[in-house]
C-alpha cells in the first residue's frame, strides 16, 4: 500500500505542481481525479444521447415515410421501455411487461453530474470552513513555497515573516482562561471540531470530518448506483470478473440490454392502434463498460480512503505523534541538551498544539523538509525569544493553572514602576 500511495503522491505532485494544495493525495483523488473521471463519463454518455443516435426502433411496415421513423424513435426515447428476453413471450397484459424497466439510461448524464458534485462536496466544506480557524493554510503554503528560489538571507527574512504570522495566530487563538467549562470544551473538541478553535484542534478536527465525508460518500455511491440501476452494485464487478474467468468475455444483457421493447398508441379517427416495437439501445454497449470501470475506481477509493482516514486518526489520537513527526528536526536545530529537549516537547504540545503540528504536516507535504526546517527553525527561535524561554531556563516557567501554558497577556506592572509614562490628569 505504501509504494502505491507514494506513486500516487508523485503523480499528483507532477500534475498539480502549479497549484498550492492544503490536503493530501487521497483527497486529490476524490475531489479532483474522480470528478474529472465522472465529467468524462458524463460527456461520453451525453454525446451519445444528445449528439449521436442513441436509439433506433424497428417500425411497422406501413411506416413508409421518414417522419414515422423519427416519431417512433423520439417517442420510445422519452417514454418507458422494458426488456423481454427473446426466448420468453411478451405478456399480454401491459402491466405485466414492466417488471424489468430499463428507462434509467435517459438519466445517466444527470446522475454522473450528481455523482461529481457529491465527490466535490467534502472539498467545498473544507474550503469554506477552514478559514474560520483564523489562518489561511493555502496562503501559508504558497508563501513558504515562494521562498524556494530565494537566497538563504532573503529566505530567512521571508520565513521570519511567515513564522511571525503563525505565532500571532497561535497566540490569538490560545486559551486565555481555564475553568471547568473550558476544560470540558477542550476534551469535547477532540470529538467535535467546531469547539476546538481555542483548544488548538479546530483545523485537525475539521480535516478528520472532511475525510469521514469522503469515505461516507464512496460508500453512499454504491447504494446510489444500486438503487439507480436496480442491481446490487457492490457485487457488480465481482460477478463480471467471475463471468470473464469462466467464459472469457462478459456482457450484462439483463442490466444493460442491447434491445428494448416500447409500446405506443396511434389514433386513427376513432380507432386506437397499439404498436409494440423493439429498439436498439447502442448506448448500453458503452454504459456497461463505463460502470464496470467506475466500480473498480470506487473499490480503489474505498480502500485508500479507509486506510488514509485510519492513518490520520492515529496521528490525531495517539499521544506524542506530533513530537515524533518534528523529532527529525531536533538535531538539525542543534537541540541536543536535556533542557532544550524538554522545552522542545513543550513547544510542540503547548505552543504549536494539534493544529500547529497539522499545519506543519501540510507544509512539509507541499514544500519538502528543507523549507519546513527553515520555518520550524524560525518558530523555534521566536518561541524562545517572545515567550520568555531561554536555553538555561527551567521548562516549568510560564505555566498557568493545571499545567497549561500561561496566557499571552501584557507583562505585570508594579505600582512604583518608574519606567511607565506619567499619568495625565484633566
Higher pLDDT, 394 or 82: 82
**What is the spatial distance between Cα 302 and Cα 202, in angstroms, rounded to a whole number?**
26
Q: H/E element holding 262?
A: strand 259-268
Alpha helix ranges (H) inside 270-337:
283-317, 321-326
Q: What is the pLDDT of residues 140-193, one digit of tens each?
A: 888 888 888 888 888 888 999 999 989 888 888 775 554 455 454 555 445 454
* Average pLDDT across the chain, whole number: 78
Residue 15 has pLDDT above 80, yes or no: no
Burial of 383 (C-beta count, 10 Å sphere; 0-12/13-18/19+): buried
Phi-psi region of 388 (alpha: psi -120 to 50; beta: other; left: phi over 0): left
pLDDT of residue 215: 97
Query: How many other CB atoms sit within 10 Å of the CB of residue 239?
Result: 13
pLDDT of residue 197: 60
Q: What is the pLDDT of residues 245-263, one digit of tens each?
A: 988 888 887 888 888 888 8
pLDDT of residue 19: 62
The strand pairing partners of 261, in sequence order, are: 82, 278
CA 179, 183, 188, 194 torsion-angle sign? positive
The strand pairing partners of 271, in sequence order, are: 268
| Ranges 17-21, 48-52, 260-264, 294-298: which has the least confidence | 17-21
pLDDT of residue 122: 96
Residue 269 half-sphere exposure toward CB, CA atoms < 13 A: 0
- Identify the band that residue 393 occupies on the pLDDT scale cut at 50, 70 and 90: very low
**What is the spatial distance between Cα 83 and Cα 90, in angstroms, rounded to a whole number?**
10
Q: What is the pLDDT of residues 94-148, one digit of tens each?
A: 777 766 677 778 889 999 999 999 999 999 999 988 888 888 888 888 888 888 8
- Identify the band that residue 407 occupies on the pLDDT scale cut at 50, 70 and 90: very low
Q: Which three cell numbers stand for residue 102?
A: 430499463
pLDDT of residue 221: 97
State what percent of residues in the chain have pLDDT above 70.
77
Q: Which three cell numbers stand for residue 125?
A: 466544506
pLDDT of residue 406: 47
Taking Cα atoms as reference points, which of 264, 267, 268 lies closest to residue 276? 264
CA 180, 186, 187, 189 torsion-angle sign? positive
Q: What is the pLDDT of residues 326-371, one digit of tens each?
A: 877 767 777 766 677 788 888 888 888 888 888 888 888 888 888 8
Contacts 24+ apart (CB under 8 A), 42-48: 42/109, 42/112, 42/113, 42/116, 44/286, 44/290, 45/108, 45/109, 45/112, 45/283, 45/286, 45/287, 45/290, 46/109, 48/282, 48/283, 48/286
**What is the spatial distance between Cα 25 and Cα 6, in angstroms, rounded to a whole number?**
9
Highest mean pLDDT among 50-64, 126-140, 315-329: 126-140
Higher pLDDT, 300 or 21: 300
Range 299-320 average pLDDT: 90
Q: What is the pLDDT of residues 202-259, one digit of tens each?
A: 888 889 999 999 999 999 999 999 999 888 999 999 999 999 998 888 888 788 888 8
Amino acid at each position: 500500500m505504501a509504494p502505491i500511495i507514494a506513486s500516487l503522491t508523485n503523480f499528483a505532485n507532477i500534475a498539480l505542481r502549479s497549484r498550492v494544495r492544503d490536503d493530501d493525495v487521497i483527497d486529490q483523488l476524490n475531489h479532483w481525479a474522480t470528478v474529472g473521471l465522472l465529467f468524462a463519463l458524463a460527456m461520453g454518455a451525453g454525446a451519445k444521447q444528445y449528439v449521436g443516435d442513441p436509439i433506433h426502433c424497428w417500425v411497422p411496415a406501413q411506416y413508409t415515410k421518414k417522419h414515422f421513423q423519427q416519431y417512433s424513435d423520439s417517442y420510445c426515447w422519452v417514454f418507458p421501455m422494458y426488456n423481454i428476453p427473446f426466448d420468453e413471450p411478451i405478456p399480454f397484459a401491459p402491466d405485466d411487461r414492466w417488471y424489468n424497466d430499463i428507462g434509467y439510461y435517459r438519466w445517466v448524464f444527470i446522475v454522473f453530474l450528481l455523482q461529481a458534485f457529491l465527490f466535490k462536496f467534502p472539498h467545498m466544506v473544507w474550503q469554506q470552513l477552514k478559514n474560520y480557524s483564523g489562518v489561511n493554510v493555502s496562503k501559508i503554503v504558497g508563501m513558504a513555497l515562494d521562498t524556494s528560489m530565494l537566497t538563504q538571507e532573503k529566505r530567512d527574512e521571508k520565513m521570519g515573516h511567515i513564522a511571525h504570522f503563525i505565532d500571532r495566530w497561535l497566540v490569538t487563538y490560545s486559551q486565555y482562561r481555564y475553568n471547568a467549562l473550558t476544560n470540558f470544551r477542550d476534551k469535547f473538541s477532540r470529538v467535535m471540531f467546531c469547539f476546538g478553535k481555542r483548544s488548538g484542534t479546530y483545523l485537525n478536527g475539521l480535516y478528520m470530518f472532511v475525510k469521514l465525508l469522503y469515505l461516507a460518500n464512496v460508500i453512499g455511491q454504491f447504494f446510489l448506483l444500486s438503487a439507480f440501476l436496480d442491481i446490487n452494485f457492490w457485487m457488480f464487478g465481482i460477478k463480471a470478473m467471475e463471468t470473464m474467468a469462466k467464459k472469457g468475455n462478459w456482457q450484462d444483457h439483463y442490466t444493460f440490454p442491447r434491445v428494448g421493447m416500447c409500446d405506443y398508441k396511434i389514433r386513427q379517427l376513432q380507432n386506437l392502434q397499439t404498436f409494440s416495437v423493439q429498439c436498439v439501445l447502442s448506448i448500453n454497449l458503452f454504459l456497461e463498460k463505463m460502470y464496470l470501470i467506475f466500480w473498480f475506481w470506487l473499490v480503489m477509493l474505498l480502500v485508500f480512503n479507509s486506510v488514509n482516514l485510519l492513518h490520520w486518526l492515529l496521528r490525531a489520537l495517539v499521544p506524542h505523534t506530533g513530537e515524533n513527526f518534528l523529532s527529525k528536526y531536533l538535531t538539525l536545530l542543534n537541540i541536543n541538551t536535556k533542557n532544550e529537549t524538554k522545552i522542545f516537547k513543550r513547544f510542540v504540545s503547548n505552543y504549536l498544539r494539534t493544529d500547529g503540528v497539522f499545519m506543519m504536516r501540510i507544509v512539509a507535504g507541499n514544500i519538502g523538509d528543507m523549507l519546513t526546517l527553515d520555518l520550524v527553525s524560525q518558530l523555534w527561535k521566536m518561541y524562545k525569544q517572545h515567550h520568555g524561554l531561554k536555553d538555561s531556563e527551567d521548562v516549568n516557567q510560564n505555566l498557568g493553572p493545571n499545567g497549561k501554558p500561561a496566557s499571552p497577556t501584557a507583562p505585570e506592572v508594579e505600582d512604583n514602576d518608574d519606567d511607565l509614562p506619567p499619568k495625565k490628569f484633566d
